[in-house]
Amino acid sequence: MSVIISLIAVVVVILIPWVGVGAFDLRVLFGIVIPYAAISIFIVGIVVKVLDWGRSPVPFRIPTTAGQEWSFPWIKTNPVDNPKGKGGVIIRMLFEVLLFRSLFRNTRLEYTFKDGAAKIDHEWEKWLWLAALLFHWSFLVIFLRHFRFFVQQIPGFVHLLESLDGFLQLGVLPVTGFGVPDVYLTDLLLLIALAYLFIRRLYIPHMRFISLPADYFPLLLIFSLGISGVLMRYFIRVDITVVKEFAVGFFKFSPKVPEGIGVIFYIHLFILCVLIAYFPFSKLMHFAGVFLSPTRNLSNNNRFVRHVNPWDYPVKTHTYEEYEDEFREKMVEAGLPVDKQIETT
């Protein structure tokens, strides 16, 4: 049911600009108003979310470790998995953000039947790690490649990425649409990785059971974004010059409604707007949350550094001496032992 709801939502997202631009010619709305609104929601939403996370108290150091802590010199330590200082934390975060180190070590619990008895098996989730790595890095490269549309002078790193990403020459193949000289590998890898992540949620029973529309919707939305981009590059060609003029004017806050661009461009743009507007309210915010997670961004020095709770406040206490002074007579009457007897005059 969750996947059906998400699929219907994505279809509606595609139909809205198709009808709005194709039937009612609402180019200003879908080309200028909605993109500016989506960017505003994206920026404000992320700032509010990060500030809210920053205000959350973290009185204890709770780094998740997978190695020996620093202690005696004759005990071999793991300075990356169990860092004692900022240097180790930085290296650990680089591995986490760039290579998904924790996901690389992830295992899945499986029950297998062998010799008529159920046994527990731990399966390494290497394909999940590989698909996630391909998806995130491909998405980053595609995003950076799009910088050629945002600025007049194309940066050098964009040319480098395009040459490395498009080294595969498929223009000679007798395949309809692949008449362009270069086929970007990241386009194909992104779609393959998304397809694997989506099928995995449907194929594994317990993953399918716990998956919600919030899990399927971003996958289908990004997949639709990639499909529309591939269609524009290889099959339904659009005027790149007009697209660049529109993009440069848009980011200079002097937008002009592009003329002569098909509906496919507005579908692609509207899907992107929905994605970035939905971003701060979705699970996609893990891209910022990983930097603020106390299980990752803290060193494990609890054994040799005293940490005082910065939010600690003086607690009004009632000592036993004060308690006995208040109830001494009643305690004596009840036959309870007291430290000080009642003074007699």
> In terms of domains, do 36 and 157 share one?
yes
> What is the percent of the chain where pLDDT is above 70?
95
pTM assigned to the model: 0.85
* 150 and 106 in a common domain: yes
Element (H, E) at 48: helix 34-54
Q: Are residues 302 and 324 in the same domain?
A: no
Mean pLDDT computed over 182-192: 91
Do 290 and 336 share a domain, yes or no? no
Bridge partners, residue 113, by sequence: 118
Range of the domain at 339: 316-345
Q: How many domains does the chain have?
A: 2
When pLDDT is cut at 50, 70 and 90, the band that residue 62 belongs to is confident
Cα–Cα distance for residue pair 334/325, rounded to 1 Å: 15
Res. 214 pLDDT band, cuts 50 70 90: very high
Q: Region 307-320: what's the mean pLDDT? A: 82
Residue 340 shares a structural domain with residue 223:
no
Q: So what's the pLDDT on residue 178? A: 52
8 Å CB contact between 133 and 195:
no
Winning range, highest mean pLDDT, from 50-59, 90-99, 149-158? 90-99
Q: Categorize the per-residue pLDDT at 272 as very low, low, confident or very high, splitting at 50, 70 and 90.
A: very high
Read off the CATH number of the domain in which 51 is found: 1.20.950.20
Say if residue 302 is in the same domain as residue 327. Answer: no
pLDDT at 345: 57
Check whether residue 203 and residue 324 sit in a common domain.
Answer: no
Mean of pLDDT values over 273-295: 93
Confidence of residue 238 (pLDDT cuts 50, 70, 90): confident
Determine the pLDDT at residue 175: 55
The residue behind tokens 């949620």 is 201
Predicted confidence band at 147 (pLDDT cuts at 50, 70, 90)?
very high
* Domain identity same for 78 and 208: yes
Q: Has residue 278 got a pLDDT over 90? A: yes
113-122, 158-167, 220-229, 247-256: which has the minimum mean pLDDT? 113-122
157-186 pLDDT, tens digit per residue, is 998 998 888 876 665 445 555 555 578 899
Same domain for 219 and 326, yes or no, is: no
Least confident of 28-32, 116-120, 205-209, 326-330: 116-120
Across the strands, what pairs with 107? 124
- For the ranges 96-110, 131-145, 171-185, the lowest mean pLDDT is seen at 171-185
212 and 328 share a domain? no
The closest of 203, 215, 3, 212 to 108, measured between CA atoms, is 203
Tell me: do 112 and 62 sit in the same domain: yes
What percent of the chain is modeled with pLDDT above 90?
A: 54
Strand locations in the chain (E): 107-114, 117-124
User: Could you read off the pLDDT of 287-305 as tens digits, one per residue?
Assistant: 999 999 888 899 998 888 8
φ, ψ at 244 (rounded to 5°): -70, -40
Same domain assignment for residues 109 and 134: yes
